[in-house]
Amino acid sequence: MLAMNPTLLVGPSDWDPGRMPQEEFAARADALWRDNPSATGAIVYGDRVNHAELAYLTNFTPKLEAALALIPRDGLPQLLVGGGVNMLPAARPLTFVADLRPLRNVGKTVAEWARAQGGGTPVLIGSTLMPYVFHQEIAAALGSKMGDKTAELRRLMGRKSARELAELRQTCATLDAAVAAMRAAQRSGAGVTAAVLAGEQAANRRGAQEVRSLFSLDRGRTLRPFETLVERAVDPLQVYVAVRQLGYWAEGFAVLTASPHPCAERADAVLRSGITRMQAGERCSEPARSITQAGHPLHPVTARVVGNAIGLALQEHPLIAGGCEDRIEAGGVYSLRAGLSDERGHGIISAMVAVHEHGNEVLWSSPEAA
C-alpha cells in the first residue's frame, strides 16, 4: 500500500550484527553473483523512499540523501553517501561497509570504479529509481554497459531467510501492538488523530523505525493520510498501519468499532478463502480471483490489487492481482487484503502470510471489528 513518504527518516536503523550478521549479507551477494556470472560487480542505488535493494546488500538505510553502493565481485564494497564528508560519521553505524565516502561526481566516480573492476560489465540495481538527472549521469558513465538487474535481485529478496522471517515476526508483533493501541484509544472515545497517534506511539516505543498510517473519516469509504488534526471521534474507524522495524515492513488494515460490523465480517470470510489459496506454486492471480470474485462489491482501494510480497520494501513483487502469472513462492511473505464496499458499509481487513513449502502461516491478521 502506498502511504505518505516522509521527508526524512528518523527511526533506529543501525546495523545489529547480532540479528543480521555479515555472513547473511555475504550469502546474498554470493547469490547475486551466481545469478550474474559475468558481472564484475554491482552498482546499487537507494534513497530514503526506495532503498530495499541497497538495504538487502549493505543494511544501509539512506535517511537523508541518496546513496550508491559499489560492490565488487572480489574485494571490499564502498558506500557513497550523499551530504558530504561530515555526514559519514552519522552513516557509519547503519552498515557493515567500512569504506564510506561522500557521493560526489557520480558519473566520474562510477566510471572509474567500473574500469578498476577490469573493464567488464557491472550490474546495476535500482536504476529506475534514480532521479532523472542522476540517471543521465550514470548512463553517460556506463554507456552500453548499463544492464539493470533489479528484477532479478528482487526475486532473490522474495525468498526470506530464517533470520528475515524472525525479523518479520517481530515487526508483525509491533504492528499488532499498534493496532491494539488504536483500538483501545478509539474505544475510550479518543478523536481520530489521538487514536491513530496512540498506535504510532505504541509502535515507536517497541522499536519501530517508521510508522505510516491512513484512516477514514467517512466510515471506511475513503482513506486519507494525516494532514491536520481531527479531534472528532468516529465509529467505525477504518485504519491502515504500516510498521517498519529492523528494516522489515509489516502492514495491516483494521475496522475499529464498538458495534457489530457485518461488512468487515463478510470481508473476513472472503480474506480467509484467499489465504487458503496462498500456497507455494500457486499463481498470484488465484488468491486474487478468490477475493475479487467472491460475489461482493469491492472496495476501490483493494479492487485491483489485493496484496503483494512484503519485506524490506513495503510493496515488493509480485503483486497479488488478477492477471498476475507470477507464482507464489515458498519462503515468501505476503500482505493480503480484502475490502468490500456497498451502500450498507465499507470495510478493509488484511493479513500477513508466510508461505512455506507445505502450507502457509498467518503472521498477523486484522482483529475482529467489534
Min CB(300)–other proteins separation in Å: 5
Per rule CB under 8 A, is residue 7 in the interface with other proteins?
A: yes
Per rule CB under 8 A, is residue 162 in the interface with other proteins?
A: no
Per rule CB under 8 A, is residue 151 in the interface with other proteins?
A: no
Per rule CB under 8 A, is residue 177 in the interface with other proteins?
A: no
The footprint of other proteins on residues 246-285 (CB under 8 A) is none
Per rule CB under 8 A, is residue 323 in the interface with other proteins?
A: no
Q: Interacting stretch for other proteins, rule CB under 8 A, among 29-37, 123-131, 162-170, 174-182? A: 123-131
Interacting residue with other proteins among 39, 42, 48, 237 (CB under 8 A): 48
Q: Interacting stretch for other proteins, rule CB under 8 A, among 10-18, 103-111, 181-189, 243-251? A: 10-18
β-bridge pairing 78-81 and 99-102? parallel
Q: How far apart are CA 128 and CA 357, in angstroms?
A: 33
Min CB(192)–other proteins separation in Å: 12
**215 pairs with which residues across the strands?**
224, 239
Backbone phi, then psi, for 153, in 5-degree steps? -65, -40
Per rule CB under 8 A, is residue 17 in the interface with other proteins?
A: no
Q: How far apart are CA 141 and CA 143, in angstroms?
A: 6
Rg of the chain over all Cα atoms, to the nearest angstrom: 21
Q: Name the 3-class secondary structure at 118.
A: coil
Interacting residue with other proteins among 25, 227, 250, 297 (CB under 8 A): 227
Per rule CB under 8 A, is residue 170 in the interface with other proteins?
A: no
Contact 195, 367 (CB under 8 A): no
Based on CB atoms, which residue is closest to other proteins, 39 or 190? Answer: 190
Per rule CB under 8 A, is residue 144 in the interface with other proteins?
A: no
Query: Could you tell me which residues come within 8 angstroms of residue 231 by beta carbon, excluding any fewer than 6 positions away?
Result: 191, 192, 193, 194
Per rule CB under 8 A, is residue 304 in the interface with other proteins?
A: yes
Query: To the nearest 10°, the Cα dihedral for 127, 129, 133, 134?
Result: -60
Interacting residue with other proteins among 143, 228, 232, 325 (CB under 8 A): 228
Interacting residue with other proteins among 17, 75, 84, 260 (CB under 8 A): 84
Measure CA 40 to chain center: 29
Q: Could you tell me the end-to-end alpha-carbon distance of the chain, in angstroms, rounded to an integer?
A: 24
Based on CB atoms, which residue is closest to other proteins, 1 or 355? Answer: 1
Q: How far apart are CA 89 and CA 69, in angstroms?
A: 17
Per rule CB under 8 A, is residue 188 in the interface with other proteins?
A: no
Per rule CB under 8 A, is residue 222 in the interface with other proteins?
A: yes
β-bridge pairing 237-245 and 210-215? antiparallel
Per rule CB under 8 A, is residue 85 in the interface with other proteins?
A: yes
**225 pairs with which residues across the strands?**
214
Per rule CB under 8 A, is residue 14 in the interface with other proteins?
A: yes
Interacting residue with other proteins among 28, 50, 159, 272 (CB under 8 A): 50
Q: How far apart are CA 249 and CA 314, in angstroms?
A: 6
Burial class (CB in 10 A: 0-12, 13-18, 19+), 180: middle
Q: Name the 3-class secondary structure at 222.
A: coil
Based on CB atoms, which residue is closest to other proteins, 120 or 189? Answer: 189
Per rule CB under 8 A, is residue 137 in the interface with other proteins?
A: no
Measure CA 4 to chain center: 13
Per rule CB under 8 A, is residue 204 in the interface with other proteins?
A: yes
Q: How far is CA 310 from CA 19, 56, 282, in A?
A: 19, 13, 17
In 3D space, the residue among 330, 166, 170, 321 whose CA is nearest the CA of residue 250 turns out to be 170
Q: Interacting stretch for other proteins, rule CB under 8 A, among 78-86, 329-337, 349-357, 361-369? A: 78-86
Per rule CB under 8 A, is residue 44 in the interface with other proteins?
A: no
Interacting residue with other proteins among 131, 260, 281, 359 (CB under 8 A): 131
Interacting residue with other proteins among 39, 44, 47, 365 (CB under 8 A): 47
**336 pairs with which residues across the strands?**
307, 351
* Interface with other proteins (CB under 8 A): 2-14, 47-50, 63-64, 83-87, 89-91, 93-94, 127-135, 193-194, 197, 200-201, 204, 209, 222-229, 300-301, 304
